[in-house]
Amino acid sequence: MLCAPKRITTSLGISVYKLFNVYLQNFCLELILFHVEQFNQERMFSDVYDVIVVGAGHAGSEAAAAAANMGSKTLLITMNLQNIAQMSCNPAMGGIAKGQIVREIDALGGYSGIVSDTSAIQFKMLNKSKGPAMWSPRVQSDRMRFAEDWRLLLEKTPNLDFYQEMVSGLLLESDKIVGVKTSLGIEVKAKSVVLTNGTFLNGLIHIGDKNFGGGRAGERAATGITEELMEIGFDSGRMKTGTPPRVDGRSLDYSKMIEQPGDKDPEKFSYLDITKPLTEQRSCHMTYTSPEVHDLLREGFDRSPMFNGRIKSVGPRYCPSIEDKINRFADKDRHQLFVEPEGWNTVEVYVNGFSTSLPEDVQFTALKSVVGFENVKFFRPGYAIEYDYFPPTQLKHTLETKLVDGLFFAGQINGTTGYEEAASQGLMAGINASLKVQEKDPFTLKRDEAYIGVLIDDLITKGTEEPYRMFTSRAEYRTLLRQDNADFRLTPKGYNLGLASEKRLERMEEKQKKSDAFVQFFRETSVKPEEANPVLESKNSAPVKQQDKMFRLFARPNITIDDVRKFKAVDQYIEENNLDPEVIEQTEIQVKYAGYIEKEKNNADKLNRLENLKIPKGFDYSRLKSMSMEARQKLAEIQPVTISQASRISGVSPNDISVLLVYLGR
């Protein structure tokens, strides 16, 4: 506008105009050059980042840490730097299947395990009465310390920059990502971008009949990205999740509740020895709802966004709101409520099991009728939140999008729920973004190698209609995917990536060497009847007539390490070799469950044979008339890489697979 000359009409006519025009053009050019120079001097982000991570929740934090630790120049952009690694829902890490994931993250060299240990206020190994595949570590966390420890760890990570701003757009060159644009209009260039937007994309919070935009209670929603991605050609959907009220612990009567203390001998998540098991723990408490509470809640149903149609999106079936539980299981007259402290020092308490989006007055009245909550004071009401996600079938196994080169998604944006699920995706996306920039081979995990492998393969192959949470039953070979052997499974891989430290590898190798030797000791050492039989008889196990190998006795049901430790030679071996509890436990598992582990390995090998049957890229499924229309559409959409992956797609029957095999000439 400045340089657009008006036509000057003088006696000199056109020539004056021309001269003036030339002058103006020069002036304009100089002005532009001056401005560009000045802008360059002042620009915050002049360099091109290797990896930009958008969002600093569990996914974003792991992604940023992984990429930076692998040597990529990384920028972490988040809307609020005060809220790095927030636990938006319950103050706990791990649990059944989830605890295994945290162990896997730790084994690969991620931070979640370390932070879970340093911020823990209570530790429990769940399912200890079942087989070792079911043992699942879980901690109650100090919510504030968790976030602080994460932030401090990230600040100590080399190659990592931070910036607080909302990312509102992506910079693309044809189908390749080249950076992001912030709401202030700043453009930051990058070779790859990891989006971990959580529940922030067009987040809408519901409490009763009120609703307002927001990504978390008290934080605004992120806008712009969904719309831009849809314009590029991405499909998006809407999901819902919820959270219960937080209350004042000083207003509760714990004497009316059941105390739930932590384990007597607490363990921990990280395989490294930089964290220590808890020496002091805080208890949780349990109480129950009652028919009276249910009636009070029902009175608010007409104002519930769940029931009046205001919330249309799908919530997780396994994490239902209290109103959902009452509605669907009307015959149950009570539900468990877990009263969880939010930290060492705070009085705030999380009421697990009372997730709700009913009006705050209904929440309050109903909760007051719960035993122990008669004088309850609210800190924050529960709420439901709806947010955008992108069906994960639009991703490759590396979590890179199929549509945009260099763009990765991780966490709730992929339709998952849970800190652990998000963190593991962040780790994998961070690793792969980094590998891509470094022009190295991608890194993926198979279903028999890690829960992380199961998680990502499920997402990519089956997609998800509801928030996806990990269960042990999702894994075909859970006996192999134990919390005790995540280091054996993954630390060598993490080390090769440059993520797991040398120290980690050494510790793992030491543990492996020692437990292998100990197993061998049981195979080779015999025990005489006079020493064995008293121990066997005390456990109602048949006595032996002649001396027998210890391995055989140890493998019997009911016989535990504590029993065989009564044999002199065993105790002596432990002492001489200075075996720690981890090695002893590992040995016990390998002796007692050898048969099952072997069996699952064989089954997994069978699967891997199909895993090796590759489907050519761009295979035209529309020609396969013998397949159901549904199967053809699904296969065309997901483009599985192997026959094995194809067989896991819902809607693809074994018959369809045999057609495919016939076509591929098998």
Instruction: List residues near other proteins by CB under 8 A.
Output: 90, 95-97, 126-127, 129-131, 133-134, 316-320, 325, 328-329, 332, 335-336, 338, 352-353, 355, 462, 471-476, 478-479, 557, 593, 596, 599-600, 603, 623-628, 647-648, 650, 652-655, 658-659, 662-663
Shortest Å distance, C-beta 131 to other proteins: 4
Q: Phi and psi (nearest 5°) for 638?
A: -90, -25
Name the residue nearer to other proteins (CB basis): 182 or 472.
472
Name the residue nearer to other proteins (CB basis): 577 or 655.
655
Shortest Å distance, C-beta 401 to other proteins: 24
Name the residue nearer to other proteins (CB basis): 133 or 527.
133
Residue 82 is encoded by which pair of tokens?
A: 């005060």
Of how many residues is the chain composed? 666
Name the residue nearer to other proteins (CB basis): 289 or 369.
289
Name the residue nearer to other proteins (CB basis): 222 or 450.
450
What single DSSP character describes residue 602? Answer: H
- R_g of the chain, CA atoms, integer Å: 29
Name the residue nearer to other proteins (CB basis): 38 or 655.
655
Shortest Å distance, C-beta 606 to other proteins: 10
What is the rounded distance in angstroms from the CA atom of residue 500 to the CA atom of residue 498? 6
DSSP string, 178-214: EEEEETT--EEEEEEEEE--TT-BT-EEEETTEEEE-
Residue 254 is encoded by which pair of tokens?
A: 């714990």
Please calculate the CA angle 491-496-497 and round it to the nearest 5 degrees: 95
> For the CA atoms of 46, 49, 54, 57, what is the dihedral angle to 10 degrees?
-120
Name the residue nearer to other proteins (CB basis): 189 or 601.
601
Shortest Å distance, C-beta 479 to other proteins: 6
Shortest Å distance, C-beta 464 to other proteins: 10
What is the rounded distance in angstroms from the CA atom of residue 296 to the CA atom of residue 301? 10
Closest C-alpha among 146, 339, 369 to residue 247 = 339
What is the rounded distance in angstroms from the CA atom of residue 358 to the CA atom of residue 321? 9
What is the rounded distance in angstroms from the CA atom of residue 136 to the CA atom of residue 275? 18
What b-and-e string marks burial along 547-568, b requiring 16 or more CB atoms within 10 Å of the CB?
eeebbebbeeeebebebbeebe
Our measurement of the distance from residue 359's CA atom to the centroid of its chain's CA atoms, rounded to an integer in Å, reads 31
Number of C-beta neighbours around residue 98 at 10 A: 26
Shortest Å distance, C-beta 138 to other proteins: 8
Shortest Å distance, C-beta 340 to other proteins: 10
Shortest Å distance, C-beta 423 to other proteins: 20
Name the residue nearer to other proteins (CB basis): 301 or 573.
301
Shortest Å distance, C-beta 243 to other proteins: 11
For residue 614, list its beta bridge partners. Answer: 642
Name the residue nearer to other proteins (CB basis): 96 or 423.
96
Closest C-alpha among 381, 219, 241, 360 to residue 306 = 241
Name the residue nearer to other proteins (CB basis): 81 or 613.
613
Q: Does an H or E element contain 39, and which?
A: helix 14-42
Shortest Å distance, C-beta 336 to other proteins: 5
Q: Indicate the angle between helix axes 502-524 and 568-577, nearest 10 degrees.
A: 160
Shortest Å distance, C-beta 578 to other proteins: 31
Name the residue nearer to other proteins (CB basis): 380 or 474.
474
What is the rounded distance in angstroms from the CA atom of residue 162 to the CA atom of residue 505? 30
Extract the runs of DSSP E, i.e. beta strands, from 266-332: 284-288
Closest C-alpha among 409, 56, 362 to residue 210 = 362
For residue 339, the number of C-alpha atoms closer than 13 Å in the C-beta half-sphere is 28
Name the residue nearer to other proteins (CB basis): 312 or 625.
625
Shortest Å distance, C-beta 90 to other proteins: 8
